[in-house]
């Protein structure tokens, strides 16, 4: 995905569309490429059901630091429906980005937020969580979706 030159009204509109799609899914993160837009924009909200929503809007997110400590999460992806697998990633990351107001921000995240930010930044670079699992498991998933597509089920 290509960098956003600046967060203007059109990017804010994209953010709003993405947030609506993410909440509707429902999901806790979404990258623009998942809605067919090749821009470096992601939205994330890891707040729990019933709690106040805490959307994060990030343009040109860049992970500038990763902890040595690792953590395992069972990941899923809206672009790979109904498939979940454990993935090991750095437990904490520092990310720099442009916010909704086009202001440079820096955030240090841990827990599920760190995992989701890494998952979304990967999408911008054409990387999916299944790229971290065994070849045997990945081949099985890719085969299943290739077949579904061939049969017109996707």
Catalytic residues, by residue number, are 120
Query: By CB under 5 A, which span of 37-45, 69-77, 90-98, 101-109 interacts with Ni ion?
Result: 69-77
State the nearest-atom distance from the C-beta of 24 to ligand GNR, in Å: 12
Contact 1, 38 (CB under 8 A): yes
Interactions with ligand GNR, residue window 91-150 (CB under 6 A): 115-116, 119-120, 123
Q: Which residues, other chains included, contact 42 with Cβ-Cβ below 8 Å and sequence gap of 6+?
A: 18, 29, 30, 31, 32, 58, 61, 117, 120, 121, 123, 124
**Distance in angstroms (rounded) separating the CA atoms of residues 94 and 80:** 27
DSSP reduced 3-state for 59: strand
Residue 148 in tokens? 């579904």
CB 118 to Ni ion: min, Å? 11
Q: Which does 55 bind (CB under 5 to 8 A by kind): Ni ion, ligand GNR, none?
A: none
When the beta carbons of 59 and 122 are compared against Ni ion, the nearer one is: 122
- Interface residues toward ligand GNR, by CB under 6 A: 27-31, 34, 73, 75-79, 115-116, 119-120, 123
């Amino acid at each position: 995905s290509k960098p956003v030159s600046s967060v203007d009204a059109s990017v804010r509109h994209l953010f709003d569309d993405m947030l609506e799609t993410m909440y509707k899914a429902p999901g806790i993160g979404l990258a623009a490429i998942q809605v067919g837009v090749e821009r470096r924009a992601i939205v994330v909200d890891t707040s729990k059901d019933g709690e106040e929503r805490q959307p994060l809007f990030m343009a040109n997110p860049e992970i500038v630091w990763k902890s040595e400590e690792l953590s395992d999460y069972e990941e899923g992806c809206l672009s790979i429906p109904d498939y979940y697998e454990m993935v090991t990633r750095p437990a904490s990351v520092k990310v720099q980005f442009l916010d909704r107001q086009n202001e440079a921000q820096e955030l240090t995240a841990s827990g599920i937020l760190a995992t989701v930010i890494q998952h979304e930044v990967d999408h911008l670079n054409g990387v999916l969580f299944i790229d971290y699992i065994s070849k045997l498991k990945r081949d099985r998933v890719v085969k299943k979706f290739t077949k579904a597509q061939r049969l017109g089920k996707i």
